[in-house]
Amino acid sequence: TTLLDIITGKTKAHSGKVIFDGHLDLLHCAEHEVVRRGIGRKFQTPSVFPSLSVFENLETALGFKTATLRLTAPLKRDQREKIMDTLEHIGLAARAQTRAGTLSHGEKQWLEIGMLLVQDPKLLLLDEPVAGMTRRERDRTGELLQDIARNRSVLVVEHDMVFVRQFGSIITVLHMGKLLCEAPVEKVQNDPNVIQVYLGRSHKPAKVAV
């Protein structure tokens, strides 16, 4: 979480660099500037507008603040199509006119992911996105994130190791603010340094679960 805070400018590092897109140093960028650069972040607790419909939440994410604003600034055809495509993508097309406050926990998480997607981020940051979900919701979220990762970078901070093993591609392990290991999950769970730091014992591959 601290790493995500530093990337997005919520927490300021005293030194070092945060390089994005190969050349851009984000270290001195304000939070809104980071968003404009193409980085979207989702926190653990879903932040949706409960009194608005699912559709209106995505509309708001595109820059419309209230439903009445549409009277003077109606959605363009391509914007409406973008919202509907996003609703299909996150599995909420049938719930477009449902008040967001009545959605399940998992559905609210998917809605917030959709609110980020309509802004076309290059990098999507998610902090424990499956916390509190049912197994079905967790699996659906994993499949959604894998699909999103086909077209943009996705970075997930997650402590649900079942989820990580099932859906993670490259796993990065941090310890005391430094990179300890970065590899596919099979290598990470058998890495002697990871085992020693997180489990406090010597390398025993047959018994290790990260």
Task: Walk along the chain (210 residues) in steps of 10 and give the mean pLDDT of each run.
Answer: 92 90 89 92 90 96 57 78 97 98 96 96 95 95 96 93 90 90 92 86 45
Q: Where are the chain's structural domains?
A: 1-37, 182-210
CA dist 8 and 35 (Å) reads 8
Q: Determine contact, residues 209/189, Cβ cutoff 8 Å.
A: yes
Q: Determine contact, residues 166/158, Cβ cutoff 8 Å.
A: no
Cα separation values, 171 from 3, 56, 147, Å? 15, 36, 18
Q: What is the pLDDT of residue 178?
A: 87
- Choose among 109, 139, 105: nearest CA to 127: 109
Q: What is the pLDDT of residue 71?
A: 44
Q: What is the pLDDT of residue 201?
A: 62
Q: What is the pLDDT of residue 42?
A: 93
Q: What is the pLDDT of residue 63?
A: 78
Q: What is the pLDDT of residue 202?
A: 54
